[in-house]
Amino acid sequence: MTERESPFIDRTGKSLERPQDQWPPYVIPKEAIDLEIERLADLPAPNNGRRESFIAHPRAKEPGLGLAPGIRVSLSVLKPGERTKSFRHTATEVNFCIQGGGYTEVGGKRIDFKQYDVWNHPSYHVYSHVNDTDELQVRLCYSDAALLEMMGIYIADEDPPSVKEEERDYADEKNRTDPRAKNPFGTFQLTDDGAWLMPYETLINPETVESKAHHWPWEQVKEHLDKLSALGKDYVGRRLYLLYNPMTGRTNGTTPNFFATMTCRPEGIVDRPHRHTSAAMNYYFSGRGQSTVEGEIVEWKAGDLMLSAPGWAIHNHAAKEGTVYELTIQDQPLNIAMESLLWQEDLKLPAAILGSEAGFGTNR
C-alpha cells in the first residue's frame, strides 16, 4: 500500500453526503453454530483455556473483525471441569450462555449462570470462566474490541495481576494534594450562553462512576416478559425489557457501549418498519419467524444468530411459528453518547437524534 504524497484532500465545493454502504443482513444458522461448537470441543485444551471463535460477517476485515462494524461476537466453549486463565482487556462485554452453565469470576465477584442468563464485564476487570457442571458450556460474547482495534487502542493482558495486587497506590498523591498544582480559578462559565473553561487537573481526574458486573438470570427475566404477554390486547407496546445497568445513566445501556434486550414475540406479531443508526443483532432461542431488511425477507429459527438490522437499514420482524424469545444487542448507548443515534420509529414521521431530542412512544 502506497502512502499519499500530500496530507491534503481537496473537497472544495463537493458534497459531504456519502452513499450508504450497509452490510447486508446475515444469518448464522443453528446448524453451523452446532458444528463449530463440536469442532471447538474436540480441540486439545489450549494453554489459556479459551476455546473460542470470532463470528465475523463476510464484509468484515482486519483490524476489527466483527458481525457488524465495531461489534465483535465470539463463540466460546468450555468442557466439564475446565476453566480459562485470568484475562482482562479494555473492551466491555455482554456475555450470554446458550448451553450448559457454570460460573464467572469477574473483578473479584462470582456470577453463577445457567442457560440464557446474561451478565456484563466492565472494562479492564480481571475475569475467568469456569465449567463446574457435567455438560458442555457454550457462551456468546459481545464486545467493543473490534471498534477499539479499528481505533488502534485495544489493549489486552494475558497475565493480569490478581484483584488484590491491582489495588492502586497513587504515586501521584503529591501532585494531587499540592496546592501549587491546582489551578486557583477552577472551572468557570465563560460566556452567557453556557460555554465553560476547565483546568487540566480537573480534565484528567473526572468524576468516577463505579462500573460493576451485573447478572440477569433468564428465569427471572422470563417471568416478567410473560407478564407482558399475558396482557394480551390490553397492551400494544413491544414486549421487551432492557437489561439495564444503572451506571450507564441516560444512555440506557447494559454496558457503556451496548444495550441487551430480551424480547417475547407471541405468534402472529408483526412489528412496523423502522430504522436507526445503531446496528442490531438477534439470537433467537425459541420459535420461528422472519425479518424484512431493506426489502429482503430473511427467515430465522431458534438457535440462529443474525445481524438483523445494519445501521440505518429499514427493517421489521415477524413471529410466524410459536412464541419467539430473543436476545438483541445494539450499540445504542455508544451512539447516544456520540450524539449520532438517529432513529425513525415511524417512517411517516421525521427522525430524531435520541438522547438530545424527544424520543418516541412504541411503534406497535
Q: pLDDT grade, residue 20 (50/70/90)?
A: confident
Q: Which residue intervals of 66-120 are DSSP H helices?
A: none
Residue 290: pLDDT above 90? Answer: yes
Q: Residue 61: which domain range?
A: 26-157
Same domain, yes or no, for 139 and 225?
no
Is the residue at 210 inside a domain? no
Is the residue at 1 inside a domain? no
Is the residue at 202 inside a domain? no
- pLDDT single digits (tens) 67-123: 999 999 999 999 999 999 999 999 999 999 999 999 999 999 999 999 999 999 999
What's the whole-number average pLDDT of the chain? 93
Q: Which of 158-172, 316-330, 340-354 has the lowest mean pLDDT?
A: 158-172
Is the residue at 193 inside a domain? no
* pTM check: above 0.75: yes
Same domain, yes or no, for 226 and 301?
yes
Same domain, yes or no, for 224 and 343?
yes
CB within 8 A of 338, min separation 6: which ones?
A: none
Q: What angle do CA 198, 204, 209 make, to 5 degrees?
A: 100
- Of 157, 180, 204, which residue is a domain's last? 157
Is the residue at 250 inside a domain? yes
Q: What total of structural domains would you count in the chain?
A: 2
Eight-class DSSP state of 164? T
Same domain, yes or no, for 338 and 220?
yes
Residue 128: pLDDT above 80? Answer: yes
The dihedrals phi and psi of 146, each to the nearest 5 degrees, come to: -65, -40
CATH number, position 287? 2.60.120.10
Is the residue at 205 inside a domain? no
Same domain, yes or no, for 111 and 237?
no
Same domain, yes or no, for 38 and 110?
yes
- Of 157, 191, 223, which residue is a domain's last? 157
Is the residue at 169 inside a domain? no
Residue 163: pLDDT above 70? Answer: no
Calculate mean pLDDT across residues 323-343.
97
Share of the chain above pLDDT 70, in %: 95
Same domain, yes or no, for 238 and 113?
no
Is the residue at 162 inside a domain? no
Eight-class DSSP state of 249? G
The whole-angstrom separation of Cα 253 and Cα 259 is 4
Residue 339: pLDDT above 90? Answer: yes
- Of 107, 131, 157, which residue is a domain's last? 157
Calculate mean pLDDT across residues 128-146.
98
Q: pLDDT grade, residue 355 (50/70/90)?
A: very high
Same domain, yes or no, for 227 and 133?
no
